[in-house]
Amino acid sequence: MGVGGSFWDLLKPCARHEGAGYLRGRRVAVDLSFWVVSHTTAIRARLPRARSPHLRTTFFRTLSLFAKMGAFPVFVVDGEPSPLKSQARAARFFRGSGMDLAALPVTEAESSAAAAPVKKRNAAFTRAVEECVELLEYLGMPVLRANGEAEALCAQLNSEGHVDACITADSDAFLYGAKTVVKVLRSNCKEPFECYHIADIESGLGLKRKQMVAMALLIGSDHDLHGVPGFGLETALRFVQLFDEDEILDKLHEIGRGVYPFVEGFDNAHIDDLPSSSTKSPVVKLPHCSQCGHPGSKKNHSKDGCNYCLVDSLENCMEKPTGFKCECPSCDEARELKEQRRHENWQIKVCKRIAAETNFPNDEIIKLYLSDNNLVEEKGVPLLTWNKPDVEALVDLLSYKQNWEPSYIRQSMLPMLSTIYLREVASSPSTPLLLCDQYEFDSIQRIKIKHGHPYYLVKWKRATRGMNSIMSSNKPVMEGETSSEVVLLDEDDDLDAVVCESPELLDEPDVPQVLIDDGCCFVLTDEDIQLVGAAFPKETARFQEEQRLKEARSRSRKSKSSLADSACKTPEGPRPSGVQLSITEFYRSKKAQNVESGKKPAGEGHAARGGSRKSSDRDLDKSLPKSVRRRLLFDC
């Protein structure tokens, strides 16, 4: 949730829409708890019998984020929740149970918010998170444990420069100090995702960190569900924009003590001592004519005329139109004074609402949002490293938890392993030239556009045949099949959880292909263009040169074809004899000759009598040979 009152809707005009390549090469902090909850809930709703959806979601989404999108994810796990959040946790528990917490009396609701039911639900969720942490450690991903909220540590990592962005849907990440937040990320979706930058929010809405903290105190958040009664999103935004970031929290403290901060010339003016609108002197303005609406009474206009209408008598004075507003100095001054008093009355009203709240603002909530000590370790953020995945441990874990075949697990891991291999080759040319000790780089097949982003389709050649193959084909190569047959690797049919779940929902990566060519085994994977160019510059340059030659030949063929077409076009003058006409030109020429001679083509009269017949060839007998029908049709 984060900040209440549909805070994301307020920030939506400031969102940037980024493509799949935006996160390439960037470090991103991932709120693991929200990641697991949101997508596991979606899978449960669609597939009630899904087995361990949190593991499947974490596995495939991490592979997509690391290999397909090229990001360096850092996963953050929630710590002990703040006691201030107990009410929000209880409300979520009752919503998940189908009960309405608001319908209960206050005392009963507070007693129902005890830790017993919430603790039981959190215990199951904690086990799911710990299983995901074990999976991520086997994948070689860095995992950090927060002191409290995971989005708070994500924001701290972002503000201190350890990561470039945060992936979370909690809007209070900006209150914790985040600079860039990716709200919803679907790596298999062609549509761009929403990315929010604090600089865009500051320039677009004029909101900075402490001002957003003040808005959370007024409209409510996870730590205070109710906020101040009578404050919505627009009212809170209008109020906090009256103050600068450095003074907004101090002003809230003053108002909470009953001090009105808007009176000029008076210090510590109490809200209850302010004059009401009824005791203020009324707005005085000059009399105006009821006929034309200009300054001056109707009696004066009848004697002396109207200076604005430029007439000498009332009979010629213009009648004021509907919605007429006088623009004289007296009316302008009266309108300005009226608008000023309306604004002052609104300020007094909202300040009285704030002053009526006890213990406002809550200093614990302010301290929680502005704290920079969100890591469990007191030594600071450790060095973030991404290790090689432990494939065998992953096979054992997922075979036991998900009942997947080992070949399917290794096959799914190949995009991640190839990405790691290319990064190692790019950084250190002395890296062994074998992927998974079995495949060597062969060539670049072509450029492939996937989800609007270009990739190289890389061809890996099988160098050795080990006992534990990374890839396995479900379709055997029969005798005689030697000419470049592409075999698509599918999952086992007996795995219900594997077959029935939607790849778009689970971000499952594309299945690698196996190419059997003249007895040699090749693997085809989609790789980043820049990464392949850094790892194998010579092969990339050769492929680019081949592409340039291919495009040049294609342009040459197109230019020759266009010249040939222009040469074959019928000239405007008479066509020389001996040149064969096309069937279309022949038909048009014969039809023109028949029209000039007044002779109708065969079957035309019958078609006219038929009414709905539009083509004369329909009147010919279909049993006649085609050559005979053509002679009859063209009268040759």
- Find how far residue 135's CA is from the centre of its chain: 26
Q: Tokens 């061809």 belong to which residue?
A: 459
Question: Which pLDDT band holds residue 521 (cuts at 50, 70, 90)?
Answer: confident
SS3 content of the chain, % helix, strand, coil (to 5): 50, 10, 40
Question: Which CATH number fits the domain that encloses residue 201?
Answer: 3.40.50.1010
The better pLDDT of the pair 368, 119 is held by 368
Q: Which among 63, 81, 50, 206 is positioned nearest to 151, based on CA atoms?
A: 81
Q: List the structure tokens of 329.
A: 């100095």
Asked whether residue 101 carries a pLDDT value surpassing 80, the answer given is no
Q: Tokens 């927060």 belong to which residue?
A: 146
Cα(212)–Cα(216) distance, integer angstroms: 6
Cα(337)–Cα(274) distance, integer angstroms: 18
Identify any residues that bridge with 236 across adjacent strands, giving them in sequence order: none
Q: Considering the chain, what percentage of its residues have pLDDT values greater than 90?
A: 30
Cα(224)–Cα(71) distance, integer angstroms: 35
DSSP structure class, residue 99: -
Q: Which among 489, 498, 504 is positioned nearest to 451, based on CA atoms?
A: 504
The better pLDDT of the pair 76, 51 is held by 76
DSSP structure class, residue 521: E
Helix/strand/coil for 101: helix
Question: Of all helices (H) and strands (E), which one includes residue 74?
Answer: strand 72-77
Count of domains in the chain? 2
Q: Of 164, 192, 207, which residue constitutes the final position of a domain?
A: 207
Cα(67)–Cα(45) distance, integer angstroms: 28
pLDDT number for residue 484: 35
Rounded to whole angstroms, what are the CA distances from 402 to 45, 52, 56, 459? 19, 7, 8, 31
pLDDT one-digit tens code per residue, 403-422? 899 988 988 898 899 999 99
Decide: 16 and 196 in contact? Cβ < 8 Å: yes
Decide: 228 and 218 in contact? Cβ < 8 Å: yes
Q: Which among 369, 69, 322, 8 is positioned nearest to 192, based on CA atoms?
A: 69
Decide: 175 and 213 in contact? Cβ < 8 Å: yes
Where b means 16+ CB within 10 Å and e means fewer, 140-169 reads bbbbbebbbbbbbbbbbbbbeebbbbbbbb
Question: Of all helices (H) and strands (E), which one includes residue 526?
Answer: strand 520-527
Question: Of all helices (H) and strands (E), which one includes residue 270?
Answer: strand 269-270
Q: Is residue 225 part of a domain?
A: no
Longest dimension (CA), the chain: 117
Identify any residues that bridge with 30 across adjacent strands, giving them in sequence order: 75, 167
Asked whether residue 140 carries a pLDDT value surpassing 90, the answer given is yes
Q: How far apart are the first and last CA of the chain?
A: 84
Question: Which pLDDT band holds residue 487 (cuts at 50, 70, 90)?
Answer: very low
Q: Tokens 């059997």 belong to which residue?
A: 516
Exposed, middle or buried by CB within 10 Å (0-12, 13-18, 19+), for 137? middle
Mean predicted confidence (pLDDT) in 370-390: 81
Question: Which pLDDT band holds residue 474 (cuts at 50, 70, 90)?
Answer: very low
Q: Is residue 571 part of a domain?
A: no
Pairing outcome for strands 27-31 and 165-167: parallel
pLDDT number for residue 593: 66
Helix/strand/coil for 235: helix
Identify any residues that bridge with 421 across adjacent strands, giving them in sequence order: none
Return the minimum-mean-pLDDT range out of 12-21, 306-315, 338-347.
306-315
DSSP structure class, residue 375: B
Mean predicted confidence (pLDDT) in 115-129: 65
Identify any residues that bridge with 439 across adjacent strands, giving them in sequence order: 435, 462
Q: Of 519, 542, 562, which residue constitutes the final position of a domain?
A: 562
In 351-510, the DSSP E strands lie at: 439-450, 453-462, 485-488
| Domain assignment of residue 537, given as a range | 405-464+508-562
Q: What CA dihedral angle connects 165, 170, 175 and 179, to 10 degrees?
A: 10
Helix/strand/coil for 251: helix
* Cβ count within 10 A of residue 26: 15
> Is the omega angle on the peptide bond into residue 406 within 30 degrees of 0, that is, cis?
no
Q: Is residue 26 part of a domain?
A: yes
Asked whether residue 497 carries a pLDDT value surpassing 50, the answer given is no
Decide: 175 and 103 in contact? Cβ < 8 Å: no
Q: What CA dihedral angle connects 278, 283, 289 and 293, to 10 degrees?
A: -100
Q: Of 517, 543, 562, which residue constitutes the final position of a domain?
A: 562
Q: Is residue 152 part of a domain?
A: yes
Q: Tokens 């809550």 belong to which residue?
A: 362
Question: Which pLDDT band holds residue 176 (cuts at 50, 70, 90)?
Answer: very high
Question: Of all helices (H) and strands (E), which one includes residue 91?
Answer: helix 86-96
Asked whether residue 509 carries a pLDDT value surpassing 80, the answer given is no
Evaluate if pTM is beyond 0.85: no
Q: Residue 101: phi, psi to the nearest 5?
A: -70, -30
Amino acid at 416: M
Q: Is residue 262 part of a domain?
A: no
DSSP structure class, residue 403: -
Q: Is residue 325 part of a domain?
A: no
User: pLDDT averaged over the chain?
Assistant: 76
For the chain, what's the residue count?
636
Rounded to whole angstroms, what are the CA distances from 472 to 98, 243, 489, 497, 567? 47, 65, 7, 20, 56
Mean predicted confidence (pLDDT) in 276-296: 69
Asked whether residue 119 carries a pLDDT value surpassing 90, the answer given is no
Amino acid at 214: A
Q: Is residue 356 part of a domain?
A: no
Identify any residues that bridge with 72 across adjacent strands, giving them in sequence order: 27
Mean predicted confidence (pLDDT) in 210-221: 93
Decide: 173 and 155 in contact? Cβ < 8 Å: yes
Q: Is residue 212 part of a domain?
A: no
